[in-house]
A = this chain, B = another copy of it.
Amino acid sequence: MEERTEINDLGEFGLIDRLTSKFKIEQDSTITGIGDDCAVIDCGESYRLITTDMLVEGVHFNMMYAPLKHLGYKAAIVNFSDIYAMYGDVQQITVSIAVSSRFSVEALEEIYEGIRLACELYKVDLVGGDTTSSLSGLVISVTAIGEVQKNQIAHRHGASENELLVVTGNLGAAYMGLQVLEREKEVFKVNPNAQPEFTQVDYILERQLKPEARKDIVHYLKSLGVVPTSMIDVSDGLASELKHLSKANGLGLVIYDEKLPIDQETFSTARSFELDPTMCALNGGEDYELLFSIRQDDFDKIKDSEHLTVIGHFTEKNAECYLADRAGKLTPLQAQGWDHFTGEEG
Protein backbone atom coordinates (compact mmCIF):
# COMPACT_ATOMS: atom_id res chain seq x y z
CA MET A 1 0.00 0.00 0.00
CA GLU A 2 1.52 3.26 -1.08
CA GLU A 3 1.06 6.35 1.02
CA ARG A 4 -0.96 9.11 -0.61
CA THR A 5 -0.85 12.65 0.71
CA GLU A 6 -3.12 15.16 -1.00
CA ILE A 7 -1.39 18.28 -2.31
CA ASN A 8 -4.18 20.43 -0.87
CA ASP A 9 -3.36 19.21 2.64
CA LEU A 10 0.05 20.87 2.65
CA GLY A 11 -0.63 24.28 1.13
CA GLU A 12 1.73 25.99 -1.28
CA PHE A 13 4.57 26.81 1.12
CA GLY A 14 4.40 23.51 3.01
CA LEU A 15 4.56 21.71 -0.31
CA ILE A 16 7.59 23.65 -1.54
CA ASP A 17 9.39 22.97 1.76
CA ARG A 18 8.69 19.26 1.49
CA LEU A 19 9.75 19.00 -2.15
CA THR A 20 12.96 20.98 -1.86
CA SER A 21 14.27 20.12 1.61
CA LYS A 22 16.71 17.47 0.33
CA PHE A 23 18.42 19.76 -2.16
CA LYS A 24 21.90 21.00 -1.26
CA ILE A 25 23.64 24.18 -2.39
CA GLU A 26 27.01 23.40 -3.95
CA GLN A 27 27.92 26.39 -6.12
CA ASP A 28 29.85 29.31 -4.63
CA SER A 29 27.92 31.63 -6.91
CA THR A 30 24.57 30.76 -5.28
CA ILE A 31 23.98 33.47 -2.68
CA THR A 32 20.25 32.91 -2.11
CA GLY A 33 18.20 29.93 -3.24
CA ILE A 34 14.56 29.22 -2.50
CA GLY A 35 12.75 31.44 -0.02
CA ASP A 36 13.08 35.02 -1.23
CA ASP A 37 11.43 36.92 -4.08
CA CYS A 38 14.34 35.97 -6.33
CA ALA A 39 17.33 33.67 -6.41
CA VAL A 40 20.56 35.65 -6.04
CA ILE A 41 23.67 34.73 -8.05
CA ASP A 42 27.10 36.23 -7.47
CA CYS A 43 28.49 37.47 -10.79
CA GLY A 44 31.60 39.18 -9.48
CA GLU A 45 30.85 42.87 -9.86
CA SER A 46 27.15 42.60 -9.03
CA TYR A 47 24.41 40.16 -8.17
CA ARG A 48 22.10 38.66 -10.76
CA LEU A 49 18.51 38.09 -9.66
CA ILE A 50 16.38 35.28 -11.12
CA THR A 51 12.67 34.76 -10.62
CA THR A 52 10.09 32.59 -12.33
CA ASP A 53 6.29 32.33 -12.31
CA MET A 54 3.88 30.05 -14.08
CA LEU A 55 0.36 31.20 -15.02
CA VAL A 56 -2.19 28.47 -15.74
CA GLU A 57 -5.52 28.94 -17.49
CA GLY A 58 -8.46 28.41 -15.17
CA VAL A 59 -6.24 28.81 -12.12
CA HIS A 60 -4.52 32.19 -12.46
CA PHE A 61 -6.63 33.66 -15.22
CA ASN A 62 -9.91 33.11 -16.98
CA MET A 63 -10.02 33.45 -20.74
CA MET A 64 -13.59 34.69 -20.43
CA TYR A 65 -12.55 38.08 -19.11
CA ALA A 66 -8.79 38.34 -19.39
CA PRO A 67 -7.97 39.86 -22.80
CA LEU A 68 -4.96 38.04 -24.24
CA LYS A 69 -2.87 41.19 -24.56
CA HIS A 70 -3.44 42.01 -20.91
CA LEU A 71 -2.61 38.45 -19.98
CA GLY A 72 0.79 38.71 -21.67
CA TYR A 73 1.39 42.08 -20.04
CA LYS A 74 0.51 40.76 -16.60
CA ALA A 75 2.63 37.59 -17.00
CA ALA A 76 5.66 39.83 -17.55
CA ILE A 77 4.79 42.35 -14.83
CA VAL A 78 4.38 39.82 -12.01
CA ASN A 79 7.94 38.67 -12.65
CA PHE A 80 9.34 42.20 -12.94
CA SER A 81 7.77 42.92 -9.57
CA ASP A 82 9.85 40.18 -7.90
CA ILE A 83 13.06 41.74 -9.22
CA TYR A 84 12.10 45.22 -7.97
CA ALA A 85 11.25 43.65 -4.61
CA MET A 86 14.97 42.96 -4.18
CA TYR A 87 15.87 46.53 -5.19
CA GLY A 88 17.09 45.31 -8.57
CA ASP A 89 16.50 46.35 -12.16
CA VAL A 90 15.00 43.90 -14.64
CA GLN A 91 17.08 43.37 -17.76
CA GLN A 92 15.91 40.19 -19.51
CA ILE A 93 13.06 37.70 -19.61
CA THR A 94 12.41 34.32 -21.17
CA VAL A 95 8.85 33.24 -22.02
CA SER A 96 7.62 29.68 -22.45
CA ILE A 97 4.06 29.08 -23.63
CA ALA A 98 2.11 25.84 -23.99
CA VAL A 99 -0.99 26.27 -26.07
CA SER A 100 -3.59 24.03 -27.68
CA SER A 101 -4.58 24.12 -31.33
CA ARG A 102 -7.81 25.95 -30.45
CA PHE A 103 -5.57 29.04 -30.27
CA SER A 104 -4.69 30.73 -33.54
CA VAL A 105 -1.38 32.35 -34.35
CA GLU A 106 -3.21 35.69 -34.05
CA ALA A 107 -4.22 34.83 -30.48
CA LEU A 108 -0.60 34.02 -29.60
CA GLU A 109 0.44 37.29 -31.23
CA GLU A 110 -1.92 39.13 -28.88
CA ILE A 111 -0.23 37.53 -25.86
CA TYR A 112 3.22 38.40 -27.20
CA GLU A 113 2.09 41.95 -27.98
CA GLY A 114 1.22 42.36 -24.31
CA ILE A 115 4.61 40.99 -23.30
CA ARG A 116 6.27 43.31 -25.81
CA LEU A 117 4.47 46.36 -24.41
CA ALA A 118 5.63 45.47 -20.90
CA CYS A 119 9.19 44.94 -22.16
CA GLU A 120 9.17 48.25 -24.01
CA LEU A 121 7.85 50.24 -21.05
CA TYR A 122 10.21 48.65 -18.51
CA LYS A 123 13.20 48.40 -20.89
CA VAL A 124 13.49 44.63 -20.68
CA ASP A 125 14.82 42.31 -23.40
CA LEU A 126 13.09 39.08 -24.42
CA VAL A 127 16.04 36.70 -24.78
CA GLY A 128 14.59 33.23 -25.06
CA GLY A 129 11.83 30.78 -24.47
CA ASP A 130 9.88 27.92 -25.79
CA THR A 131 6.55 27.59 -27.59
CA THR A 132 4.94 24.20 -27.51
CA SER A 133 1.57 22.57 -27.84
CA SER A 134 -0.68 21.62 -24.96
CA LEU A 135 -3.49 19.10 -24.97
CA SER A 136 -5.73 21.43 -23.02
CA GLY A 137 -5.27 24.83 -21.45
CA LEU A 138 -2.88 27.71 -21.91
CA VAL A 139 0.23 27.82 -19.68
CA ILE A 140 2.66 30.77 -19.59
CA SER A 141 5.96 30.46 -17.75
CA VAL A 142 8.12 33.58 -17.48
CA THR A 143 11.61 33.87 -16.01
CA ALA A 144 13.00 37.35 -15.33
CA ILE A 145 16.66 38.22 -14.86
CA GLY A 146 17.75 41.36 -13.07
CA GLU A 147 20.80 43.04 -11.62
CA VAL A 148 21.47 44.74 -8.32
CA GLN A 149 24.57 46.28 -6.76
CA LYS A 150 25.93 44.06 -4.01
CA ASN A 151 25.67 46.73 -1.31
CA GLN A 152 22.08 47.60 -2.25
CA ILE A 153 20.26 44.28 -2.36
CA ALA A 154 17.09 44.10 -0.27
CA HIS A 155 16.27 40.63 1.00
CA ARG A 156 13.18 39.62 2.93
CA HIS A 157 15.46 39.54 5.97
CA GLY A 158 17.79 42.26 7.22
CA ALA A 159 15.45 44.42 9.31
CA SER A 160 15.96 45.45 12.94
CA GLU A 161 13.54 46.07 15.82
CA ASN A 162 11.32 49.14 15.56
CA GLU A 163 12.10 49.88 11.93
CA LEU A 164 9.23 51.40 9.95
CA LEU A 165 7.01 49.38 7.60
CA VAL A 166 6.20 51.17 4.36
CA VAL A 167 3.89 50.21 1.51
CA THR A 168 3.68 51.73 -1.97
CA GLY A 169 0.53 52.88 -3.75
CA ASN A 170 -2.74 51.47 -2.47
CA LEU A 171 -4.12 48.06 -1.63
CA GLY A 172 -7.13 45.88 -2.43
CA ALA A 173 -7.87 47.44 -5.82
CA ALA A 174 -6.94 44.39 -7.92
CA TYR A 175 -9.09 42.18 -5.70
CA MET A 176 -12.12 44.43 -6.05
CA GLY A 177 -11.53 44.54 -9.82
CA LEU A 178 -11.71 40.76 -9.82
CA GLN A 179 -14.98 40.83 -7.85
CA VAL A 180 -16.54 43.11 -10.47
CA LEU A 181 -15.35 40.82 -13.28
CA GLU A 182 -16.69 37.74 -11.49
CA ARG A 183 -20.05 39.45 -10.98
CA GLU A 184 -20.32 40.36 -14.67
CA LYS A 185 -19.36 36.82 -15.65
CA GLU A 186 -22.32 35.51 -13.62
CA VAL A 187 -24.64 38.09 -15.19
CA PHE A 188 -23.37 37.11 -18.64
CA LYS A 189 -24.06 33.43 -17.94
CA VAL A 190 -27.70 34.24 -17.17
CA ASN A 191 -28.17 36.80 -19.94
CA PRO A 192 -25.48 36.96 -22.66
CA ASN A 193 -27.07 40.13 -24.06
CA ALA A 194 -26.76 42.13 -20.84
CA GLN A 195 -24.41 45.09 -21.01
CA PRO A 196 -21.66 44.85 -18.38
CA GLU A 197 -21.90 47.36 -15.54
CA PHE A 198 -18.45 48.84 -15.56
CA THR A 199 -19.22 52.40 -14.46
CA GLN A 200 -16.83 53.99 -11.97
CA VAL A 201 -14.68 50.88 -11.78
CA ASP A 202 -12.09 51.73 -14.46
CA TYR A 203 -9.27 52.01 -11.98
CA ILE A 204 -9.87 48.77 -10.13
CA LEU A 205 -10.40 46.85 -13.39
CA GLU A 206 -7.08 48.14 -14.66
CA ARG A 207 -5.39 47.14 -11.40
CA GLN A 208 -6.68 43.59 -11.91
CA LEU A 209 -6.19 43.23 -15.66
CA LYS A 210 -3.13 45.38 -16.30
CA PRO A 211 -1.11 45.78 -13.11
CA GLU A 212 2.17 47.68 -13.00
CA ALA A 213 5.39 46.86 -11.15
CA ARG A 214 6.99 49.55 -8.98
CA LYS A 215 10.16 50.27 -10.92
CA ASP A 216 9.41 53.94 -10.29
CA ILE A 217 9.63 53.45 -6.51
CA VAL A 218 12.93 51.58 -6.68
CA HIS A 219 14.44 54.39 -8.73
CA TYR A 220 12.89 57.03 -6.46
CA LEU A 221 14.30 55.38 -3.32
CA LYS A 222 17.72 55.11 -4.98
CA SER A 223 17.60 58.83 -5.80
CA LEU A 224 16.86 59.51 -2.12
CA GLY A 225 19.69 57.25 -0.97
CA VAL A 226 17.25 55.03 0.93
CA VAL A 227 17.99 51.28 0.84
CA PRO A 228 15.17 49.19 2.37
CA THR A 229 16.36 46.97 5.21
CA SER A 230 13.92 44.26 4.05
CA MET A 231 11.47 44.08 1.18
CA ILE A 232 8.84 41.87 -0.51
CA ASP A 233 6.23 42.47 -3.19
CA VAL A 234 2.53 42.27 -2.40
CA SER A 235 1.30 39.45 -4.61
CA ASP A 236 -0.64 37.21 -2.21
CA GLY A 237 -2.03 39.99 0.00
CA LEU A 238 -0.55 42.42 2.51
CA ALA A 239 -1.23 40.25 5.57
CA SER A 240 0.47 37.25 4.00
CA GLU A 241 3.51 39.33 3.00
CA LEU A 242 3.74 40.88 6.48
CA LYS A 243 3.85 37.37 7.92
CA HIS A 244 6.66 36.49 5.54
CA LEU A 245 8.68 39.54 6.59
CA SER A 246 8.00 38.84 10.25
CA LYS A 247 9.19 35.25 9.92
CA ALA A 248 12.23 36.07 7.75
CA ASN A 249 13.37 38.74 10.22
CA GLY A 250 12.40 36.92 13.42
CA LEU A 251 10.55 40.07 14.51
CA GLY A 252 6.99 40.90 15.52
CA LEU A 253 5.19 43.82 13.95
CA VAL A 254 2.16 46.03 14.29
CA ILE A 255 0.27 47.82 11.52
CA TYR A 256 -2.48 50.41 11.90
CA ASP A 257 -5.88 49.95 10.27
CA GLU A 258 -6.33 53.70 9.71
CA LYS A 259 -2.98 53.94 7.89
CA LEU A 260 -3.79 51.37 5.20
CA PRO A 261 -3.85 53.14 1.83
CA ILE A 262 -7.14 52.32 0.09
CA ASP A 263 -8.28 54.05 -3.06
CA GLN A 264 -11.76 55.63 -3.02
CA GLU A 265 -12.99 53.41 -5.88
CA THR A 266 -11.80 50.29 -4.03
CA PHE A 267 -13.49 51.51 -0.88
CA SER A 268 -16.87 52.28 -2.46
CA THR A 269 -16.91 49.08 -4.54
CA ALA A 270 -16.08 47.01 -1.45
CA ARG A 271 -18.99 48.69 0.35
CA SER A 272 -21.35 47.95 -2.56
CA PHE A 273 -20.31 44.28 -2.33
CA GLU A 274 -20.81 44.43 1.46
CA LEU A 275 -17.13 43.67 1.99
CA ASP A 276 -14.89 45.25 4.64
CA PRO A 277 -12.41 47.49 2.78
CA THR A 278 -9.72 46.77 5.39
CA MET A 279 -10.06 43.03 4.78
CA CYS A 280 -9.80 43.63 1.02
CA ALA A 281 -6.62 45.64 1.54
CA LEU A 282 -5.13 43.02 3.87
CA ASN A 283 -6.02 39.88 1.93
CA GLY A 284 -6.90 40.93 -1.59
CA GLY A 285 -3.72 39.97 -3.39
CA GLU A 286 -2.34 40.80 -6.85
CA ASP A 287 -1.61 44.43 -5.96
CA TYR A 288 2.09 44.11 -6.96
CA GLU A 289 2.93 46.98 -4.65
CA LEU A 290 6.12 46.87 -2.57
CA LEU A 291 6.21 46.34 1.20
CA PHE A 292 9.48 47.26 2.87
CA SER A 293 11.14 48.42 6.05
CA ILE A 294 13.36 51.47 6.53
CA ARG A 295 15.45 52.81 9.37
CA GLN A 296 13.69 55.46 11.45
CA ASP A 297 16.44 57.89 10.36
CA ASP A 298 15.21 57.57 6.79
CA PHE A 299 11.65 58.63 7.61
CA ASP A 300 12.24 62.31 6.82
CA LYS A 301 13.46 61.42 3.34
CA ILE A 302 10.30 59.57 2.35
CA LYS A 303 7.57 61.28 4.38
CA ASP A 304 6.49 63.67 1.61
CA SER A 305 6.01 61.05 -1.10
CA GLU A 306 2.40 60.54 -2.14
CA HIS A 307 3.32 56.99 -3.28
CA LEU A 308 4.62 55.80 0.10
CA THR A 309 2.70 55.16 3.30
CA VAL A 310 4.14 54.18 6.66
CA ILE A 311 1.63 51.59 7.89
CA GLY A 312 3.36 50.39 11.06
CA HIS A 313 6.66 49.08 12.39
CA PHE A 314 8.54 46.01 13.45
CA THR A 315 8.42 45.28 17.19
CA GLU A 316 10.71 43.01 19.22
CA LYS A 317 12.26 39.61 18.47
CA ASN A 318 9.96 36.58 18.13
CA ALA A 319 6.84 38.65 18.80
CA GLU A 320 3.52 38.32 16.95
CA CYS A 321 1.98 40.28 14.07
CA TYR A 322 -0.86 42.61 15.05
CA LEU A 323 -3.41 44.87 13.44
CA ALA A 324 -4.23 47.92 15.58
CA ASP A 325 -7.68 49.50 15.18
CA ARG A 326 -8.48 53.18 15.61
CA ALA A 327 -9.01 52.67 19.35
CA GLY A 328 -5.56 51.10 19.63
CA LYS A 329 -6.89 47.61 20.20
CA LEU A 330 -4.53 44.91 18.85
CA THR A 331 -5.85 41.88 16.93
CA PRO A 332 -3.55 39.09 15.73
CA LEU A 333 -3.06 39.47 11.99
CA GLN A 334 -4.71 36.73 9.92
CA ALA A 335 -3.14 35.88 6.57
CA GLN A 336 -5.59 34.59 4.02
CA GLY A 337 -3.39 34.73 0.94
CA TRP A 338 -4.36 33.08 -2.28
CA ASP A 339 -3.78 29.39 -2.30
CA HIS A 340 -3.43 28.15 -5.83
CA PHE A 341 -4.15 24.58 -4.88
CA THR A 342 -7.60 25.18 -3.52
CA GLY A 343 -8.51 28.04 -5.80
CA GLU A 344 -9.89 29.78 -2.73
CA GLU A 345 -8.54 32.10 -0.13
CA GLY A 346 -7.71 30.35 3.07
CA distance A22 to B48 in the complex (A): 26
Stretch at the interface among A6-14, A273-281, A293-301: A6-14
Residues of B within 8 A of A5 (CB): 104-106
Query: Does A153 belong to the interface (CB within 8 Å)?
Result: no
Q: Mark A1-38, 1 if CB is under 8 A from B, else 0.
A: 01111111110100110111011111101101110001
Residues of B within 8 A of A124 (CB): 26-27
A58 and B98 form a contact (CB under 8 A) = no
B143 and A52 form a contact (CB under 8 A) = yes
Task: Identify A19's interface contact among B4, B52, B101, B131, CB under 8 A.
Answer: B131
Task: Identify A127's interface contact among B32, B108, B123, CB under 8 A.
Answer: B32
Query: Does A126 belong to the interface (CB within 8 Å)?
Result: yes
State the number of copies, please: 2
B10 and A105 form a contact (CB under 8 A) = yes
Q: Mark A325-346, 1 if CB is under 8 A from B, else 0.
A: 0000000000000001101000
B56 and A132 form a contact (CB under 8 A) = yes
A94 and B143 form a contact (CB under 8 A) = yes
CA distance A99 to B10 in the complex (A): 14
CA distance A46 to B22 in the complex (A): 30
Residues of B within 8 A of A129 (CB): 16, 34, 52
CA distance A58 to B12 in the complex (A): 25
Given contacts A56-B98, A130-B54, contact A30 B105 (CB under 8 A): no
Q: Which of A44, A51, A116, A141 has the most CB of B within 10 A?
A: A141
A23 and B134 form a contact (CB under 8 A) = no
Query: Does A145 belong to the interface (CB within 8 Å)?
Result: yes
Query: Does A135 belong to the interface (CB within 8 Å)?
Result: yes
Task: Identify A139's interface contact among B9, B48, B98, CB under 8 A.
Answer: B98
Q: Which of A10, A12, A24, A96 has the most CB of B within 10 A?
A: A96
B59 and A16 form a contact (CB under 8 A) = no
Residues of B within 8 A of A104 (CB): 4-7
CA distance A59 to B100 in the complex (A): 11
Residues of B within 8 A of A188 (CB): none
Query: Does A318 belong to the interface (CB within 8 Å)?
Result: no
Given contacts A6-B105, A105-B18, contact A125 B43 (CB under 8 A): no
A residues 49-107 in Cβ contact with B at 8 Å: 50-54, 56-60, 91-92, 94, 96-99, 101, 103-106
Nearest chain B CB to A117's CB is how many angstroms away?
A: 10
Sample of 9 A–B contacts (CB below 8 Å):
A4-B104, A6-B101, A23-B119, A23-B126, A30-B125, A39-B127, A43-B44, A54-B96, A56-B98
Question: Residues of A with Cβ closer than 8 Å to B?
Answer: 2-10, 12, 15-16, 18-20, 22-27, 29-30, 32-34, 38-39, 41, 43-46, 48, 50-54, 56-60, 91-92, 94, 96-99, 101, 103-106, 108-109, 112-113, 116, 119-120, 123-137, 139, 141, 143, 145, 147, 340-341, 343
